[in-house]
Every structure is written in structure tokens, then in C-alpha cells.
Homo-oligomer: A and B are copies of this chain.
Amino acid sequence: MSTRISVIGGGSITDGDGDVATAVGRELGRRGYTVVCGGRGGTMEAVCRGAKATGGTTIGILPGEDRSAANEYVDTAIATGLGHARNALVPLNGDAVIALAGSHGTLTEIGFAGIYDRPIVGLGTHDVPSVETVATPADAVDAVEDALDHRA
């Protein structure tokens, strides 16, 4: 079972935030991780694009019933039909979580990451105590690696 990193963040983001997400995806792909995300646009598309550019694998867990709604960089799309309750599944399916810029949905996913006891690294995201804040995409991936090593 390959190690999976869930990347969470908003569906509507700035170009700058998209660049950060893509950089995170590139770094994850380069290091051989599978990216888990919500499968749609914004952060989700940007991180998957980055991961695919460096040979990574991507899983998108969608809120709707149509798996063809996944962005084009998703390798395995899972339709849930659960609406926003699917947010629980995104951190659950990663071994650790990287949280990027986002709004209410991202906050739910940070909370679920805490419930499921996943390490959470944040880059430009909500300032809550369960999140370890870092400064760059490479730092984010370093930090999740450290957290996973420490637990292993």
C-alpha cells in the first residue's frame, strides 16, 4: 500500500494559491506519494496537475454522483453522492494531510484530520492549533514525512 497524502484547500482560489498547490503536487509526485483530494477544481485540480507532472498518482473523492466530474488529472475518481459529508472521506483516506488556502470546507477537513489522528501540515491555511505551519511546498512535504517517520 503506497503512502497517501491528502491535500485539502478551496475550490475557488487565487492564481497564487493555485501555484502553491501545484508545487505541493509536484513535490509529492516526485517523492512517490499518492495524492488524495476532493477531485474537483481549484486546489484539487492544481495539486493533481502538479502530481501528474512528476509521475505521481492521484485519487479524487467527489461530492456528487458523477465521477466524470473529476478534474482531468485524477487517476481514480470515486463518486460519493454524499454532498458535503464527503469531506470526512478526504483526510480519512490519507496517511497525513497538507492543508492549503481554503474556507469552510477546508476547515471541516482539518477537523476530520484531527478526529482521525492524521498529522496536519498547513501552508497559508486556517490558523488552528492542530495544524503545524510551514513556509514552502517543499517544507510541507518534508514536514509530513517527518511526522510519518516519527509515528512509524
Q: Give residues in A with beta carbon < 8 Å to B.
A: 1, 59, 61, 65, 67-68, 76-85, 87-89, 92-93, 103-116, 126, 128, 130
Q: How many monomers of this chain does the complex have?
A: 4
7 shortest interchain CB distances as A-B pairs? A104-B114, A108-B111, A107-B111, A81-B83, A85-B88, A104-B115, A85-B85
Question: Within 8 Å CB of A111, what residues of B?
Answer: 87, 104-111
- Contact check: which of B88, B104, B126, B130 meets A87 at CB < 8 Å? B88
A39 to chain B, nearest CB (A): 12
Whether A83 contacts B84 in the complex (CB less than 8 A), given A93-B67, A107-B114, comes out as: no
Bound state CA distance, A78 and B85, in angstroms? Answer: 15
